[in-house]
Amino acid sequence: MSIRQIADGWALETKSTAYVFGLNSGGMLIHRYWGARLPGENDYPPAPSSAIWLSFNGPGQLAREEYPAWGGQSFVEPCLKATFSTGVRDVVLNFESATIGENRDGVQELRLRLSDKHYPLVVDLFYRAHEEYDLIERWAVVTNLGTEPILLERAWSCLWHLPLDNRYRLSHVSGRCLNEMQLHRESLAPGKKVIESRRLTTSHHAKPWFAVDRGNADEESGEVWFGTLAWSGNWKLVAETTDFGSTRIGIGVNDWDFAWRLDSKGGASSSLVLPACVAGWTEGGFGAASRALHDYVRGELLPHRPALHPVLYNSWEATYYDVDAPSQTKLATIAAGMGVELFVVDDGWFQGRKTDNAGLGDWRPDERKFPQGLGPLIQKVNALGMGFGLWVEPEMVNPDSDLYRAHPDWVIHFPTRARTEGRNQLILNCARLDVQEHLIATLDKLLSENNIAFIKWDMNRNVSEPGWPGAPGDPRELWVRYVQGLYRIWGTLRERHPTVTWQSCAGGDARADFGILRLADQIWPSDNTLADSRLAIQEGFSQFFPANVMEAWVTDAARERLSLEFRFHVSMCGALGVGCDLNKLSAEELRQAAQLIAMYKEIRPIVQLGHQYRLRSAQQSPFSAVQYVSSDCSAGVLFAFRTHIAGYDSTVTLPALFLRGLQTDWLYEVEGFSGARSGAAWMRVGLRIELKDFQSTIRRIHRV
């Protein structure tokens, strides 16, 4: 069994890792070990006994507590901070019990109960070991068992302790809309590095993902501790190195402007279930860390499991808001001729939508654009052999809409303040039950009345004036209840329409996280569709998301500078889509596009479901390469891209590419190279590819 009780503690063991914690002599729940799986249980270090240091630090300051609460003489970042009805703000958690059992789905779980020494506050810590993925999953549930309310001011999911060392480096991604997922690596020194979202969504700006190494890991080797939080709202990650040299990563729902009133026992709000964090250790470098998360997403998270995504066409950049039955039918006919499998109508199809200042909220086809509804267009698209997809932005409302006119109180706002608009829209308060019911009913009707195979769920602004007049609890619960409401709406619709594929979009990747991947099958990584910018964004995205969830369109952006082939090759690294204005493509371009789509269909299982190796970084070098290998190692695909390198072409010699992931003693052929060579040779000797500025290539690899 992967979770077991050992002397003075518990061990979670996966294929090659172990995570161990236990009680010390003072009864504190202490982290003991996280790293390579060791042969015997006595190999894992004991939990050190509690100590104090002069008169300035209590045990909480020195001990590496598994789930510290704020109390006593401790100044490190706690997981929990609460105020009791008596005004006491000191939490003393004691270990109460532990059970190892199976949950309703037969998955083994460890549950530890901690309870406050005096007050009826309990914290249940939950653990799972994903043996085959080498990952540990943790979360916490905080419950009030008493009759008086308890106010939570921080409730994190967990704290991950790293081995005692002083050489740590944190990798994380940051960016902004149109330039997401830029990778940063920085040394951790005593003090804290904080990354977070305060924007109601996960945000374009940072992601709740970390990878920590000792400053010496690279793509293929070195110890890396990594993890990510499954949450689609405000979050916070604090990487702290304490004054006693202990480095830890605390992660959870953001405590900024956060409050949660735990009502008395038995009430619906007496418990708060916190989001799960999945994390792992590897000595295979950042590449292996990514691959473990990719496998987990495909094998565990995705609602449709590892489905192969069809090649889609999205008409947004071709027609913008000018959608109507004739324009879409024309595009659909051309798209089908190219080999497209799913035709998606984006923004602009619904009542009153001429531009971005009206219509959001009124989710019925615009009578002037679709006088007979969407039916005839969908039938035409289906007759052309394609599925039909539709864009919605359910959480939003334009003040110029029937919905807002009927329910101006449904938006997030403070009564005495202006309602700041973003893109002329306001945010419906999805924390409210009436809003949830309305959205479920409206979208259910849309999906029931039309043969829709795909929904792109968009969300195009950040929050402002986060008020909730009439909130049943503390109005600051909005941050969490909004996300819970969103999950309920989306989850209910998924249940009622299980064959629909869903894409999470928020003006790009502002809602890209492991929480939404339980509901969405795909993510839209960026509104920046410039293929050369996209190379860098896609690479950041691959740090924790697999290629099959990454929707990637070929568009007309920079077509004067970037060849159709280059633009296609970039998008073929994920779930290929096309977003060009097909009316403007020449016959030759259409023929070339059809050929590339046909080739993509051939390599699609390897790209979408294979193991990904980042051979050369696009964020660091104008010559980049990425390789995908089938899970049985018998086939692969190599993509190489050159953007601009200074100097005349003839004077530039590109470095060799060393393939990865092949079986050393199997023979392989690589397209464009004569003769079979062993996997070892392709990986050790490498291969040379010549490319000019803004050229790219795809080389298929197969076992002979």
Report the interface residues with ligand DGJ, using CB under 6 A. Answer: 316, 346-347, 391, 458, 460, 505, 507-508, 524, 527
Q: How far apart are CA 35 and CA 623, in angstroms?
A: 34
| Least distance CB 574 / ligand DGJ (angstroms) | 15
Q: Which of 263, 400, 444, 527 is catalytic?
A: 527
| Least distance CB 507 / ligand DGJ (angstroms) | 5
- Answer yes or no: 527 catalytic: yes
| Least distance CB 218 / ligand DGJ (angstroms) | 33
The candidate with the shortest Cα–Cα distance to 209, out of 188, 189, 231, 190, is 231
Q: Which is nearer to ligand DGJ, 181 or 505 (CB)?
A: 505
628 touches 610 (CB < 8 A) = yes
Contacts 24+ apart (CB under 8 A), 185-188: 187/215, 188/212, 188/239, 188/241, 188/247
Q: Which is nearer to ligand DGJ, 250 or 348 (CB)?
A: 348
Q: Which is nearer to ligand DGJ, 180 or 477 (CB)?
A: 180
Those residues with Cβ within 8 angstroms of residue 141's Cβ, 6 or more apart along the chain or in another chain: 123, 124, 126, 271, 272, 273, 274
For residue 348, give both structure tokens.
Answer: 């602009």
Q: Which is nearer to ligand DGJ, 508 or 679 (CB)?
A: 508
| Least distance CB 79 / ligand DGJ (angstroms) | 35
- Answer yes or no: 257 catalytic: no
| Least distance CB 355 / ligand DGJ (angstroms) | 10
Q: Which is nearer to ligand DGJ, 309 or 614 (CB)?
A: 309
How far is CA 547 from each of CA 134, 202, 381, 529, 605, rounded to the nearest angstrom? 20, 20, 27, 16, 10
CB neighbourhood size of 191 (10 A): 10
Torsion of CA 507, 509, 514, 516, to 10 degrees: 10
For residue 425, give both structure tokens.
Answer: 């829209």
Burial 390-400 (b: 16+ CB within 10 A, else e): bbbbbbbbbbb
Q: Which is nearer to ligand DGJ, 398 or 608 (CB)?
A: 398
Query: Three-state SS for 246?
Result: coil
Q: Which is nearer to ligand DGJ, 122 or 392 (CB)?
A: 392
The candidate with the shortest Cα–Cα distance to 163, out of 246, 103, 249, is 246
The candidate with the shortest Cα–Cα distance to 501, out of 538, 561, 548, is 548
Q: Which is nearer to ligand DGJ, 538 or 696 (CB)?
A: 538
| Least distance CB 177 / ligand DGJ (angstroms) | 9
The candidate with the shortest Cα–Cα distance to 429, out of 465, 390, 392, is 465
DSSP code, position 455: E
| Least distance CB 425 / ligand DGJ (angstroms) | 10
| Least distance CB 366 / ligand DGJ (angstroms) | 15
Nearest residue by C-beta to ligand DGJ? 347
Amino acid at 444: D
The candidate with the shortest Cα–Cα distance to 193, out of 249, 253, 156, 238, is 238
Q: How far apart are CA 699 and CA 500, in angstroms?
A: 34
For residue 87, give both structure tokens.
Answer: 């005004």
Q: Which of 295, 346, 458, 532 is catalytic?
A: 458
Q: Which is nearer to ligand DGJ, 178 or 633 (CB)?
A: 178
Phi, psi for residue 77 in degrees, rounded to 5: -65, 120
- Angle formed at CA 160 by CA 155 and CA 166, multiple of 5 degrees: 130
| Least distance CB 533 / ligand DGJ (angstroms) | 14
Q: What is the total residue count of the chain?
A: 704
| Least distance CB 102 / ligand DGJ (angstroms) | 41
Q: Which is nearer to ligand DGJ, 524 or 641 (CB)?
A: 524
426 touches 419 (CB < 8 A) = yes
| Least distance CB 510 / ligand DGJ (angstroms) | 9
- Alpha helices of 413-511 — where are they, by DSSP H? 433-449, 478-496
Q: How far apart are CA 494 and CA 496, in angstroms?
A: 5
| Least distance CB 527 / ligand DGJ (angstroms) | 4
Burial 125-141 (b: 16+ CB within 10 A, else e): bbbbbbbebbbbbbbbb
Q: How far apart are CA 692 and CA 235, in angstroms?
A: 43
The candidate with the shortest Cα–Cα distance to 22, out of 37, 6, 38, is 6
Q: Which residues lie across from 57 on neighbouring strands?
A: 53
Q: How far apart are CA 274 and CA 262, in angstroms?
A: 13
Amino acid at 647: G
DSSP code, position 297: I
Q: How far apart are CA 242 and CA 225, in angstroms?
A: 18
Q: Which is nearer to ligand DGJ, 202 or 247 (CB)?
A: 202
Q: Which is nearer to ligand DGJ, 295 or 347 (CB)?
A: 347
CB neighbourhood size of 157 (10 A): 26
The candidate with the shortest Cα–Cα distance to 81, out of 277, 280, 225, 258, is 258
Q: How far apart are CA 459 and CA 509, in angstroms?
A: 10
Q: Which is nearer to ligand DGJ, 413 or 511 (CB)?
A: 511
Give the largest CA-CA distance in the chain.
81
| Least distance CB 424 / ligand DGJ (angstroms) | 11
Residues labelled as active-site residues: 458, 527
